Amino acid sequence: MTEKPIVIKTPAEMILDSRAARARGERVGLVPTMGALHQGHISLLDYTRQHCDRLVVSIFVNPIQFNKKDDLEKYPRTWEQDTARCAEAGADVIYAPDAAVMYPAGFQTKVAVGAMAQGLCGAFRPGHFDGVTTVVLKLFNAVRPHLAVFGQKDYQQLKVIQRMCQDLDLEVEVVGCPTVREPDGLALSSRNVHLSPSERRQSLCLYKALSRARALAQAGEREAAALIAAARREIESSPLARLEYLEVVDAETLEPVSRLERPARMCLAAWLGDTRLIDNMGLD
């Protein structure tokens, strides 16, 4: 039988819980999420379960990382299903603070990473990564995890958080797990529920574009412009997809690269109707 995780609603209680776990000599692992849990999230829980004694899942739809009000309002919320999934995955704690607890009146601090957070999604979602790094640092301070696990699906987010940890001397190991996809290749995302059937069909062009670029790179193509052109053609063949950006970047610094000499990644964002999807893939 799966035991129900305990639900903690305030940083003060979360700190006490983790302090007790650490005093027992347990290794604490954290998986930050915004809920609407799918198999991509569960893969992070499974990884963390295997590498920690106490598994904490945070569920918090973080208002300060949304740069559009309607995106925040229509973000799917599935609390009952999420708690059942956390129980099934062996979570010990669900940390689910309210926005008023996280950001009480008078709150005025933010954590901002530099250049790495400015390109790619950062260029199109002003303030987004400041919201992410601020909430993640708050989660780290409350949960005090030894290990925190994120998805490579949000590759820039993963790298920005690793940068923050290094820059601010945080004692947290940050690991990125591979992207979990639908059988046809679409990356799982909580926002996929908003796709109409025709948008869902055409959304496949994103995975096809990335796979095409990777195949070309593996066959020896070194010029980023050639990889971008091939990927762009795949996406342009799907009339419902509107490309926001498509770039080849250094896998560590996220700086644009023109020739593949070190590990590189193709990253993209595209709109299908009113739904914005992101995806990325290593080119090696």
- Residues with catalytic function: 41
Neighbours of 4 (CB within 10 A): 13
Binding mask 188-217 for ligand AMP (x = CB under 6 A): xxx---------------------------
* Region of 179-187, 214-222, 228-236, 247-255 interacting with ligand AMP (CB under 6 A): 179-187
Q: Could you tell me which of 66, 69, 59 has the C-alpha nearest to residue 34?
A: 59
Closer by beta carbon to ligand AMP, 40 or else 247: 40
Tell me the number of residues near ligand AMP by CB under 6 A: 17
Closer by beta carbon to ligand AMP, 204 or else 230: 204
Instruction: Kindly give, in sequence order, each residue whose CB lies less than 8 Å from that of residue 280, ignoring residues fewer than 6 positions away.
Output: 152, 153, 155, 179, 210, 265, 266, 267, 268
| Structure token digits, residue 177 | 């797990």
Q: Does 139 bind ligand AMP (CB under 6 A)?
A: no
Instruction: Tell me which residues in 38-57 interact with ligand AMP (CB under 6 A).
Output: 40-41, 43-44
Q: Does 72 bind ligand AMP (CB under 6 A)?
A: no
Least distance from C-beta 61 to ligand AMP, angstroms?
Answer: 9
Q: Does 138 bind ligand AMP (CB under 6 A)?
A: no
What whole-number distance in Å separates Cα of residue 18 and Cα of residue 24?
10
Q: Does 154 bind ligand AMP (CB under 6 A)?
A: yes
| Structure token digits, residue 23 | 């005093």
Instruction: Kindly give, in sequence order, each residue whose CB lies less than 8 Å from that of residue 80, ignoring residues fewer than 6 positions away.
Output: none
In this chain, which of 180, 204, 228, 230 binds ligand AMP, going by CB under 6 A?
180
| Structure token digits, residue 101 | 């607890």
Residue with token string 């509107």: 242
Least distance from C-beta 23 to ligand AMP, angstroms?
Answer: 28
In this chain, which of 47, 66, 140, 150 binds ligand AMP, going by CB under 6 A?
150
What whole-number distance in Å separates Cα of residue 214 and Cα of residue 212?
5
Least distance from C-beta 225 to ligand AMP, angstroms?
Answer: 28
Closer by beta carbon to ligand AMP, 84 or else 180: 180
In this chain, which of 34, 55, 216, 246 binds ligand AMP, going by CB under 6 A?
34
Write out the E strands in the chain.
6-8, 28-33, 54-59, 93-95, 147-151, 173-177, 241-250, 264-272, 275-282
What whole-number distance in Å separates Cα of residue 64 and Cα of residue 39?
25
Q: Which residues bind ligand AMP (CB under 6 A)?
A: 33-34, 40-41, 43-44, 150-151, 153-154, 177, 179-180, 187-190
